[in-house]
Structure 1
Amino acid sequence: MGFVIRLLVSALALYLLTQVYSGVYFVPGSGVGAVVIAALVMGVVNALIRPVLLLLSLPVNVLTLGLFTLIVNGVVLWLVAALTALNVAGFGAAVIGALILTVISWALDAVVGALGLDGSRG
């Protein structure tokens, strides 16, 4: 059940990103399925490719005190856009979109946690 909730929260975060930032958008006519597929691809890319990118960029990340992670997150969003119905206006838009997506996901995770839907017991 936790996986489904995490997937739906990620899909909602992607959808909200496309509503608040015009640099990232879904192909016109895309439905809920396209949003869920993009969230699923985002999860797979975050689990498999993002750690490799972070490891390869470790020296630059240390030199920039972690700010290069924003660029890596932009690359991840750009890659997801290349694989799904999500469109990004350019690499700069991907970096800004990734930053906004992080804030939206953080807020949604806080709401889900406050409602007790995250499966934690406390």
Structure 2
Amino acid sequence: MLIPLTQTFLSDSIQGMKSILRKIVFYSVALFLVAQTLEGVKVSGGLLTYILGGIVLSILFVIVRPILSIVTLPLNIITLGLFSFLINAIILYLLTIIVPGISIAAFEFNGFSFLGFIVPQLPINGFFAFIVASILLSLIIGFLKWLTKK
């Protein structure tokens, strides 16, 4: 009876560690892709800063996001879930405070056109830089989770 309980505990521990490691890798990769895509997101310090940023983002998304989601639940219901991007922007702001090598600043969006659909060039100020970065981060993390879904 003792052996199956020990095996179950070890199996659960290994699955938990895999889940934590997967989150850190996802957030590190997403942070890298956001920094490569948006010129306002700067990460100095190389790979170590991306890994540290992934660890801090994992902690913030596990601890801070549920608290902010509960506090802002009425606003999230009224806006049909769009307020969650502002919650993610707050988390990114906390990330820039905690990790000194990561900064998000105003930038100029160059615009694009695709199949006759034209998006003009836009200046993005500091507040909206956090919003745009949080939207892109959410899309990348959602895609990575979808890719590795069992």
Identity %: 26
Aligned length: 112
Q: Which residue of 2 aligns with 1:117?
A: none
Alignment of 1:70-89 (within 5 A): 70-84=85-99, 85-89=101-105
Q: Quote the Cα distance in structure 1 between the aligned partners of 2:143 and 2:77.
A: 27
Partner Cα separation in structure 1 for residue 22 and residue 81 of structure 2:
29
With the length of structure 1 as denominator, give the TM-score of the two structures: 0.83
Q: TM-score if structure 2 supplies the norm length?
A: 0.69
Residue in 2 that maps onto 1:116: none
Higher CA-based Rg: 2
The CA distance in 2 between the partners of 1:88 and 1:38, in whole Å, is 13
Q: Letter of the aligned partner of 1:55 in structure 2?
A: I
2:28 equivalent to 1:11: yes
In 2, distance between residues paired with 1:73 and 1:83?
15
CA-based RMSD of the aligned residues comes to: 1.4
- Kindly report which structure 2 residues correspond to 1:1-122, keeping only aligned pairs within 5 A, or say none: 1-27=18-44, 30-84=45-99, 85-89=101-105, 90-113=126-149, 120=150
Gaps of at least 5 residues in structure 2 are 1-17, 106-125
